Amino acid sequence: MEIPALQGLAAERQLMTMERPLQAKEQQSSLRIGVPGERSNEERRVSLAPSGVETLVASGHEVYVESGAGDNSHFSDAEYSDAGGQVVASAEDVYSKSELIVKVGPPAGDELNLLQDNQVLISALHLGATTAEFLQSLMDLRITGIGFEFIRDSDGSLPIVRMMHEIMGSLSVQIAARYLESDEGGKGVMLGGISGVPPSTVVILGAGVVGEWAARTALGFGAHVIVLDRDLGALRSLEHYLDRNVTTAMATLQYIRQAVLSADVVIGAMMSDGDRSPMLVTEDMVMGMQPGSVIVDAVIDQGGCVETSQPTTHSKPVFWKHDVLHYCVPNMPSNAARTATYALTNVLVPYLLQIGRTGSINDALWQNVGLRNGTYAYRRYLTKKSLASSFGLPHRDIELLIASAI
């Protein structure tokens, strides 16, 4: 005999809906991303490798790649096409089809005329070559400009700058090793020496990221490495990371002079945020170096650390002064174009995916502190006070602009 009360309860349970918490989905937006080729003869990198294009396309985005954009990094059009990118014939096609442009260097010359209203531009800004006319063009077109140099995450790190500095540090030692060889006019010595022959001495000025990676690479060659810096804490950290395999000293005039006179290689790697690199090695110190020694001033784009340094180019990278060979190319990562492109891709793709997930650049800037810090132009305003002051242009706080949805 059924009990009516229990029977009703069973029926009621069958009719009741079972509540389940539903996870709110982020608003996904399909981006049209453009990858134009670089116009500078000295720039061999491209902003995205085919692997990055494949990730973006798999996430529902369209990527337009200018034909030949990856040639100097040894990425073919076929690789981009196989990754799902749409290879187009010209830069004009890339700019006209895209809402977001990602480049290595900023648009220059005729490229400025290709920019479209309200586009997003992610690239290096190249502060030393920036003009008021370029910035005004971006503001007139209501461009959102995000600069590699400014992208700073919540932990204070500059991810793209750090990647390039790691490459600069490693490359500086590779380059020095090559120019020490007799064929290049150097002393005819190896960095690491051999059994019974002592290694070369590499003096590194600066214990920052460039200096650290220069030291790591020089140690890998087997060189005797001396690092000088004005920051005792930075020297302590470097000794800790490298297990005290380097010799460190404060960058006093006495220690610098002693180290440079004994050096086979001097690498300039010391930087000052927002200022010129400190001039640590004087001309008379260079005159005292052994003939055939090598100076690689890796921070020449910030003025350099050596008094005799002058900017050179990839086509003419070196010059001789006081029988010492100087290598002073400002854009060193371009000489390792493929590695540098992969490094850029690893950092840039997560930011591009974030923009797509949020649904708009406005929301992405609000949610992502790295992108927000990287923004120097937003709609009709500059959002970096120092940049605006340098060129006498109007400035607005980025957070206020985003909040007001201007």
User: Active-site residue among 77, 93, 126, 297?
Assistant: 126
Edge-to-edge strand list for the sheet holding 381-382:
86-88, 62-66, 32-35, 100-102, 120-123, 144-147, 375-378, 381-382
Go through the chain and tell me how many residues it has. 406
User: Active-site residue among 77, 93, 229, 301?
Assistant: 301
What string of pLDDT tens digits covers the 406 residues of the chain?
Answer: 444 443 443 443 443 344 444 444 455 679 999 999 999 878 999 999 999 999 999 999 999 999 999 999 999 999 999 999 999 999 999 999 999 999 999 998 889 999 999 999 999 988 777 889 999 999 999 999 999 999 998 888 899 999 999 999 999 999 999 999 999 999 999 999 899 999 999 999 999 999 999 999 999 999 999 999 999 999 999 999 998 899 999 999 999 999 999 999 999 999 876 568 899 999 999 999 999 999 999 999 888 999 999 999 999 999 999 999 999 999 999 999 999 999 999 999 999 999 999 988 999 999 999 999 999 999 889 999 888 888 888 889 998 888 876 5
What pLDDT score does 11 carry?
41
What pLDDT score does 28 carry?
67
Whose structure tokens read 């060659």?
221
Rounded to an integer, what distance in angstroms lies between the CA atom of residue 41 and that of residue 379? 31
Rounded to an integer, what distance in angstroms lies between the CA atom of residue 84 and that of residue 81? 5
Rounded to an integer, what distance in angstroms lies between the CA atom of residue 356 and that of residue 349? 11
Contacts of 363 (CB under 8 A, 6+ apart): 27
Whose structure tokens read 């090598």?
294
Instruction: Determine whether 301 is an active site residue.
Output: yes
Amino acid 138 reads L
Amino acid 54 reads E
Nearest partner of 325 among 199, 171, 179, 191, judged by Cα = 179
* Domain annotation for the chain: domains and CATH numbers: 32-150+336-404 (3.40.50.720), 161-328 (3.40.50.720)
Contact assessment for residue 151 and residue 365, using Cβ atoms and an 8 Å cutoff: no
The secondary structure of the chain, three-state, reads CCCHHHHHHHHHHHHCCCCCCCCCCCCCCCCEEEECCCCCCCCCCCCCCHHHHHHHHHCCCEEEEECCCCHHHCCCHHHHHHCCCEEECCHHHHHHHCCEEECCCCCCHHHHHHCCCCCEEEECCCHHHCCHHHHHHHHHCCCEEEEHHHCCCCCCCCHHHHHHHHHHHHHHHHHHHHHCCHHHCCCCCCCCCECCECCCEEEEECCCHHHHHHHHHHHHHCCEEEEEECCHHHHHHHHHHCCCCCEEEECCHHHHHHHHHCCCEEEECCCECCECCCCCECHHHHHCCCCCCEEEECCHHHCCCECCCCCCCCCCCEEEECCEEEECCCCHHHHHHHHHHHHHHHHHHHHHHHHHHHCCHHHHHHHCHHHHHHEEEECCEECCHHHHHHHCCCECCHHHHHHHCC
Q: How many CB atoms lie within 10 A of CB 396?
A: 17
Burial 201-240 (b: 16+ CB within 10 A, else e): bbbbbbbbbbbbbbbbbbbebebbbbbbbbeeebbeebbe
Rounded to an integer, what distance in angstroms lies between the CA atom of residue 290 and that of residue 182? 14
Rounded to an integer, what distance in angstroms lies between the CA atom of residue 229 and that of residue 97? 49
What pLDDT score does 379 carry?
85
Instruction: Determine whether 395 is an active site residue.
Output: no
Edge-to-edge strand list for the sheet holding 294-297:
247-250, 224-229, 201-205, 265-268, 294-297, 324-327, 318-321
> First-to-last CA distance in the chain?
73
